[in-house]
Amino acid sequence: MALAALSGDEQRVIFSRLCNPLDPGVAVAFGSASNELWTATQGPRQQLQADYEAAAALGRKAGKRSCKELREAKSFQWQGLGISLDDLALLGTLGSVLLALDTLILHERAANPDGVPRLAEKLGAGALPAATYLSLNTTPVGDAGASALAAALGRGALPRLKTLFLSSTALGDAGLVALAPALRRRPALEGLYVAGNPLGGDGLAALVAPPPPTGVLANLKTLHLGYTQITDAGCAALASALESGALPSLKTLWLVSIPASAAVKATVQRTGLQVHRCGSFCRTTNE
C-alpha cells in the first residue's frame, strides 16, 4: 500500500538504488511491486542481469564460485591471470558493493596501461569502504594511473587504506606529485612501497614536504624508496623534512640501490634513522 502512494518516478528512483549486480534479486522483487514499474524497468532489469553475469564471470576468474562469495569476500587476488580493460572497469564499479573487502591484490605485468586508470575512474565516493591493503605491484600504473588513483582517493574511495604497494609500476615524478596530496590526507596510511620506479626528488619532495600544523602522514611507519632515481638532492630534502617533523612515526626506510651517495644517505641516518641490514634504515627507539 505504501508503494502505491509513491509516484512512478519515485518508485524508479528506489529501484535504481536497489540495483546491485552482486545481489539483483532485491531490485527484481521490488520491480514486480506494480505492473507499471515492472514495465518501466524492463531495460534496467535486463542490464542488471547482464551486469550480474559479468560480475559472476569476473569472480570465477579470481576463484570466487558465486556472486555471493564475491560479495562477502575479504580478499580479492588477481595475479597473472590476464585481466582486460572491461574487467578492471567492472571491478571499479563493484567497489561500491564490495563492502567486506579488506585486501585487493592486482599483479598483472602484461595489463594494458589504460587498465588502472579505468579501474580508478570507476571508484566512486566511499568505494571499497573496508579495504586497508591495496597492491598493484608490477602492474602498469604509470603517471596516468597514479593521477586517476589520486582522483579516486580524493572522491573518498578507500577511506581506510593502510598499506599501498606501487612497486615496479612505471611510476614517475609526475605520478607521485599527483598522488602525494591524496596520500598526505590519509591519516591511516602506515606503509607505502614505491620501489623500482623511475621517480626522483620531485616526487619525494611532494610526498614529504614539511607538514602544516595539523601534520601529514602522521602514522606512516614504512617507506620503501629502493631502486628508484633519488639523488643527493632528494635525500637532503628527505633529511630536512624528517628534521622538521614530517613522518613522525616512520620506523623503516629503504634507500637501497639509489644514485644518492653514501655521505648524503648518512644525513638521513643522523635524523634518528639507524642503518639496518638489506639497505634499510630503522628509527632508533627507547623501547
Q: Are residues 130 and 250 in the same domain?
A: yes
pLDDT in tens, 141-180: 999 999 999 999 999 999 999 999 999 999 999 999 999 9
Gap between the Cα atoms of 272 and 285, Å rounded: 9
Q: Which residues contact 87 (CB under 8 A, 6 or more apart)?
A: 58, 61
Report how far residue 146's alpha carbon sits from residue 166's, in angstroms, rounded to the nearest whole number.
Answer: 9
Query: What are the φ/ψ torsions at residue 286 (nearest 5 degrees)?
Result: -100, 10
Which three cell numbers mark 78? 588477481
Give the pLDDT confidence score for residue 62 in this predicted structure: 86
Whether residue 57 is found in the same domain as residue 70: no
Q: For residue 209, which amino acid is it?
A: A
Helix (H) or strand (E) holding 51: helix 42-61
Q: Is residue 214 a contact partner of residue 185, using CB atoms and an 8 Å limit? A: no
Packed helices 262-269 and 232-243: angle between N→C axes, nearest 10 degrees:
10
C-alpha dist (Å) from residue 206 to 28, 31, 37, 66, 199: 49, 50, 53, 43, 12
- In a shared domain, residues 271 and 145: yes
| Locus of grid cell 623534512 | 241
Q: Tell me the pLDDT of the chain (287 aa) as tens digits.
A: 455 555 656 666 766 666 677 777 766 777 777 777 777 777 777 887 888 888 888 889 888 889 899 999 999 999 888 889 999 999 999 999 999 999 999 999 999 999 999 999 999 999 999 999 999 999 999 999 999 999 999 999 999 999 999 999 999 999 999 999 999 998 899 999 999 999 999 999 999 987 665 567 889 999 999 999 999 999 998 988 888 888 889 988 999 999 999 888 888 876 666 534 345 555 544 43
Kindly state the helix (H) or strand (E) to which residue 18 belongs, with its residue range: helix 8-18
**What does the pLDDT read at residue 277?**
37
- Same-domain check for residues 10 and 95: no
Residues 55 and 161 in one domain: no
> Do 37 and 156 fall within a single domain?
no
Of the candidates 80, 35, 39, the residue with the CA atom closest to the CA atom of residue 61: 80
Indicate the pTM of the whole model: 0.87
Q: Are residues 30 and 156 in the same domain?
A: no
Within this chain, do residues 161 and 108 fall inside the same structural domain, yes or no? yes
Domain containing 134 equals 65-283
Residues 239 and 116 in one domain: yes
Q: Which residues pair with 275 in a beta bridge?
A: 281
Tell me: do 14 and 103 sit in the same domain.
Answer: no
Give the C-alpha separation, 178 to 188, whole Å: 19
Of the candidates 37, 64, 91, which is a domain's last residue?
64
For 262, residues 6+ apart whose C-beta sits below 8 A from its C-beta are none
Query: In this structure, what CATH number is given to the domain that contains residue 274?
Result: 3.80.10.10
122 and 136 co-located in one domain: yes
pLDDT of residue 211: 67
Same-domain status, 77 and 195: yes
Identify the domain boundary among 33, 64, 95.
64
In the chain, the number of structural domains is 2
Q: Which residues pair with 224 in a beta bridge?
A: 193, 254
